[in-house]
Amino acid sequence: MSKFYITTPIYYPSAKPHMGHAYSSIAADMIARFKRIEGCKVSFLTGTDEHGLKIQKAAEANGKDTQSFCDEISKTFVNLTSTLNLSNTDFIRTTEDRHKNTVTELWNLLEKNDQLYLSKYAGWYSVSDEAYYSETEIEDIEGKKVSKTSGSSVEWMEEESFFFKLSEWEKPLLEFYNNNPNFIQPESRRNEVISFVSSGLKDLSVSRTTFKWGIPVPNNSKHIMYVWLDALTNYLSATNYFNNHNEFWPADVHIIGKDILRFHAVYWPAFLMAANLPLPKKVFGHGWILSGEEKMSKSKGNILDPVDLVSKFGSDAIRYYLIKEVIFGLDGKINIDNLMNSINDLGNNIGNLSNRIFTILDKYYGCKVPEVNNNYSVNERLKINKKDFINLINNYELHNYIKNIHAYSSKINKYVNDNEPWNRKINSEQNINNILFSTLNALKNIFILLYPVMPLVSKKFLEHLSISENEINLNLIDKNLIQKKQLSKPDILFKKYE
Ligand code: MSP
């Protein structure tokens, strides 16, 4: 069985989750579920990034002890699994021992390979981004220094620090990108990274001494490790890499937002190369969920709460809408009216199709699969190729995957309209059986394909065909339902919104 390891970013538990976080997790979940029904053994990791000044300050602002604050907010991210119906196989917190041990191990390897040295850092730092910025990366806005890319304010920082010899990895990184053209996707992001690395890499400060909320540097506990070195290593920690139980590293893909591309596509592979460890196979940087023209974020105060939305519309609807609406890799705007229209479209297209077919089956066939004769073959118009969907997922065209399901379903609707299985004047009994049999199998295929995006409704529909959730598999697409099999009529599959 082939293996597939996919990760989401680990989220800062500085405030409860918003739609941006939900989006990363939903996209990763869709891919994880698809890979499972394709037959892979899947490891799907998410979690929380709990160290660093940003979290320490958030805890202070809430008047809480840092660990208790993390425990509390991290739970709201753990709960996202059931709210959004995620199928993650693990949830990592960077305050766990298994993680601290792995980061310490990685530090030791870097030290052993002569990749670290002690010096002094003097430069700009953004606590909100937990990132160092050079003079050319910041600007003055209304008398305040801010990062040009994120807009968050930066402060001057001077302290003793361990440095990682990032500059040594400029050439190896460029070579690696060149030899692995699909490592960074989409293409536009890859170009950004290559131009950043080509413009020259400076050594990276990887420890701090002015606060304590982090993992101590081995044998020098005056220093704690830079939170991004700590955080990125979570992907390795969860595989038990240094305990010889690793089954999944290297990861097949890290799904991240474009805002954290540099960390994943430059620093992370450099740390791994320097420690002589295998590199992940791909980093996919998706776009932002916008509110109006702006990124949805806590600091901008324009966030939609996924928990609220799920309680109004259900997790399937939110999952479907985000994947359909936002081209994977680009920014996308969302709004509630549009969400309701999308779900109504689903009802009009797929919901009606199911309803029409099951009404006839229920009335005239005792809700059993109709019988077809030996020379039955599925109408060319209704054929579907699962390879097309496999390719779309492998190319990370998540929005086109949904488009394709819609196109297929529209085709089936047209076929039913053209052939009128309810009209006994123009159809022989055998003909009607054939039309219903084909349509029923097409519906089965639609819901198998829809499963990674809308697991609840797909599970429900397929159970009416006596296919249980753990039997859902892409191979069923090429298998017709057993004739005369007893089915049951689903009730309303998609709610209508006014
Ligand atoms: N803790 C770091 C990630 C460490 S990974 C080793 C972090 N956390 S975060 O909570 O600020 O954001 C994590 C991710 O949430 C972003 O990279 C992005 O994937 C997602 N999003 C946050 N806001 C977003 C939008 N408005 N739109 C889409 N996704 C964005 O960065």
Q: Indicate if ligand 1 lies below 6 Å from the C-beta of 236.
A: no
- Residue to probe by mutation, ligand 1, list 7, 11, 264, most atoms within 8 Å of CB: 11
135 closest CA partner among 126, 123, 127: 123
| ∠ Cα 434 438 444 (to 5°) | 145
Which is the closest atom of ligand 1 to the Cα of 257? Answer: 19
CA distance 90 to 27: 16
154 closest CA partner among 182, 170, 135: 135
| ∠ Cα 179 264 192 (to 5°) | 65
Instruction: List pLDDT tens digits, range 147-202.
Output: 998 899 999 999 999 999 999 999 999 999 999 999 999 999 999 999 999 999 99
Percentage of the chain exceeding pLDDT 70: 100
Q: Indicate if ligand 1 lies below 6 Å from the C-beta of 400.
A: no
Instruction: List pLDDT tens digits, range 265-315.
Output: 999 999 999 999 999 999 999 999 987 777 777 777 777 789 999 999 999
Contact 137, 64 (CB under 8 A): no
Cα distances (Å, whole numbers) of residue 145 to 94, 205, 363, 394, 466 = 30, 20, 72, 41, 62
Q: Indicate if ligand 1 lies below 6 Å from the C-beta of 8.
A: no
Give the count of alpha carbons within 13 A of 204, CB side only.
25
Give the count of alpha carbons within 13 A of 162, CB side only.
23
**Choice between 38 and 301, residue whose per-residue pLDDT is larger:** 38
Do the strands 3-11 and 253-257 form a parallel or antiparallel pair, or are they unpaired? parallel
Predicted pLDDT of residue 378: 83
CA distance 362 to 369: 10
Distance from the alpha carbon of residue 469 to the mean position of ligand 1, in angstroms = 31
Alpha helix (H) ranges present in 63-185? 66-78, 80-83, 97-112, 170-179
CB atoms within 10 A of CB 144: 9
Predicted pLDDT of residue 342: 96
CA distance 278 to 38: 25
Predicted pLDDT of residue 245: 81
Which residue(s) pair with 133 in the sheet?
A: 124
Q: Indicate if ligand 1 lies below 6 Å from the C-beta of 254.
A: no
What are the helix and strand counts (H, E) for the chain?
19, 18
Instruction: List pLDDT tens digits, range 370-385.
Output: 999 877 888 888 899 9
Contact 15, 73 (CB under 8 A): yes
Per-residue pLDDT, averaged over 195-210, amounts to: 96
H/E run at residue 430: helix 429-450
Q: Which residue's structure tokens are 């081209």?
A: 327
Distance from the alpha carbon of residue 406 to the mean position of ligand 1, in angstroms = 30
309 closest CA partner among 299, 319, 295, 294: 319
Predicted pLDDT of residue 143: 87
Q: Indicate if ligand 1 lies below 6 Å from the C-beta of 94.
A: no
Predicted pLDDT of residue 382: 87
Distance from the alpha carbon of residue 80 to the mean position of ligand 1, in angstroms = 15
Q: Indicate if ligand 1 lies below 6 Å from the C-beta of 326.
A: no
CA 46 to chain centre: 9
Predicted pLDDT of residue 375: 79
Instruction: List pLDDT tens digits, range 442-492.
Output: 999 999 999 999 999 999 999 999 999 999 999 999 999 999 999 999 999
Burial class of residue 290 (count of CB atoms within 10 Å of its CB; 0-12, 13-18, 19+): middle
Distance from the alpha carbon of residue 19 to the mean position of ligand 1, in angstroms = 10
* Token pair in block for residue 453: 């995006």
Instruction: List pLDDT tens digits, range 304-358.
Output: 789 999 999 999 999 999 999 999 999 999 988 999 999 999 999 999 999 999 9
Per-residue pLDDT, averaged over 243-253, amounts to: 92
- Residue to probe by mutation, ligand 1, list 45, 225, 288, most atoms within 8 Å of CB: 288
Predicted pLDDT of residue 304: 79
CA distance 224 to 214: 5
Q: Indicate if ligand 1 lies below 6 Å from the C-beta of 351.
A: no
CA distance 88 to 107: 28
| Mean model confidence pLDDT for the chain | 95
CA distance 481 to 466: 10
Predicted pLDDT of residue 295: 77
H/E run at residue 124: strand 116-126
CA distance 9 to 231: 9
CA distance 189 to 197: 12
Do the strands 207-208 and 204-205 form a parallel or antiparallel pair, or are they unpaired? unpaired
Mapped onto helix, strand or coil, the DSSP state of residue 310 is helix
* Token pair in block for residue 183: 């490592």
Q: Which of 42-56, 94-108, 365-379, 394-408 has the lowest mean pLDDT?
A: 365-379
| 243 pLDDT higher than 80 | yes
Percentage of the chain exceeding pLDDT 90: 90
DSSP per-residue codes, 469-495: GGG--GGGGGSPPPTT-B-------S-
Predicted pLDDT of residue 374: 79
Burial class of residue 491 (count of CB atoms within 10 Å of its CB; 0-12, 13-18, 19+): exposed
| 34 pLDDT higher than 80 | yes
Predicted pLDDT of residue 319: 98
Contact 229, 108 (CB under 8 A): no
Q: Indicate if ligand 1 lies below 6 Å from the C-beta of 396.
A: no
Predicted pLDDT of residue 498: 87
Distance from the alpha carbon of residue 357 to the mean position of ligand 1, in angstroms = 44
Mapped onto helix, strand or coil, the DSSP state of residue 457 is helix
